[in-house]
Amino acid sequence: MSMSSLETSTDASDRLKVDQPHGKPVCCPSGKDCTIPIDITLRSSDGIRFGAHKKNLESFSEGFPPVEWTAEKKGEIVELPEKGITLRLLLRFMHNTALAKLWKECSDMDIDDLLAFMDAADKYGVFIALQAGEEALVSRADKMSHEDLLRVLLREASRSSSNIIDEFARRTLCIPTKVGLLFLKNHLQIYMTWSLYRTEWEAWKKEYEKEMTRNHASESGQHWRGNQSCTECEKYRQQLHACLRELEEFPTFDHFTRVEVVLLKFQLVIDTVSWPAVKRCSICNNRLENWKGGLPKLFGSQKRWVDCILK
């Protein structure tokens, strides 16, 4: 069968023909909705065969499989070093259909399999698959063990660039130094970056705590409301701080803004001893506005992983 007849054929029986001499017909892992003729068979390291489409492999990847393998041959089977679970997932990203939501589908997937899938996506240049893998990885980061967090950190730090490294690096801040040292002992450069990253974050957290708990009234003089000194802006800041702490361990200015919006709404309906509605006066308002003006700079001084790579 010539290449052109494969490309133009939409006959269902044609889709399954190529591999016939070698046994059972193979199917495209994209499912029965895929009507593209199968013109190449891929075999995984654990012996599972998948039907695929050369044109799609070409359009959706940068070299999957390598060009020399896809030279026109009848009943061609390409052996690949990846496992079946990896290829099955990867081939689904080689279709012009809605992207698979890996973070949802693969929430129970073994982390080794997920990482192997990402490695393959990386190797063959299937960037949408890689992105989906990254999303899946980040979505389960909160449930990862220390060791898995460090594994992901090591993987991402070893790449020339990473979109998700800070998500993981921040979560490793609570890991004891010794555990990190033992894990990264053969990766001195990465260990040094990790070390500096931790030092920088520790310093930032101190600065942040200081700023959020500073007593502005005692610094800039008290003012009075009736016959009592007014502490409304202090109360307000304490509430902001408490809410932010609940919401996010590594807050950004965006989190801060969101918390403030929620807090303002919340205060309209709740006024209790432990959560008193804040009745800000104009002096408090000015103080708070000044204070908030300095916050983007504080949040902006958080260090990213790339800032800590020693040149």
> How far apart, in whole angstroms, are the C-alpha atoms of residue 204 and residue 214?
15
> How far apart, in whole angstroms, are the C-alpha atoms of residue 54 and residue 41?
10
Q: Strand, helix or coil at 41? A: strand
Strand partners, 52: 40
Pick between residue 38 and residue 137 the one whose CB is nearest to Zn ion.
38
Contact indicator for 116, 82 with CB cutoff of 8 Å: yes
If one asks whether residue 150 binds Zn ion (CB under 5 A), the answer comes out as no
User: By C-alpha distance, which of 118, 138, 140 is closest to 128?
Assistant: 118
115, 284, 288, 308: residue in contact with Zn ion (rule CB under 5 A): 284
Sole window of 17-25, 147-155, 178-186, 226-234 interacting with Zn ion (rule: CB under 5 A): 226-234
Pick between residue 34 and residue 121 the one whose CB is nearest to Zn ion.
34
User: By C-alpha distance, which of 85, 304, 87 is closest to 204?
Assistant: 304
| Residue 119 C-alpha from the chain's centroid | 15
Q: Given strand 40-43, what is the order of strands in its sheet?
A: 49-52, 40-43, 77-79
Site string for Zn ion, 184-223 (x = CB under 5 A): ----------------------------------------
Smallest separation (angstroms) from Zn ion to the CB of 34: 3
If one asks whether residue 34 binds Zn ion (CB under 5 A), the answer comes out as yes
HSE-up of residue 86 (Cα within 13 Å, Cβ side): 26
Smallest separation (angstroms) from Zn ion to the CB of 224: 9
User: By C-alpha distance, which of 96, 106, 98 is closest to 136?
Assistant: 106
Pick between residue 137 and residue 230 the one whose CB is nearest to Zn ion.
230
If one asks whether residue 230 binds Zn ion (CB under 5 A), the answer comes out as yes
If one asks whether residue 137 binds Zn ion (CB under 5 A), the answer comes out as no
Smallest separation (angstroms) from Zn ion to the CB of 220: 11
232, 241, 256, 305: residue in contact with Zn ion (rule CB under 5 A): 232
If one asks whether residue 28 binds Zn ion (CB under 5 A), the answer comes out as yes
How many amino acids of this chain bind Zn ion (CB under 5 A)? 9
Contact indicator for 202, 241 with CB cutoff of 8 Å: no
| Residues in touch with Zn ion (CB under 5 A) | 28, 30, 34, 36, 230, 232, 281, 283-284
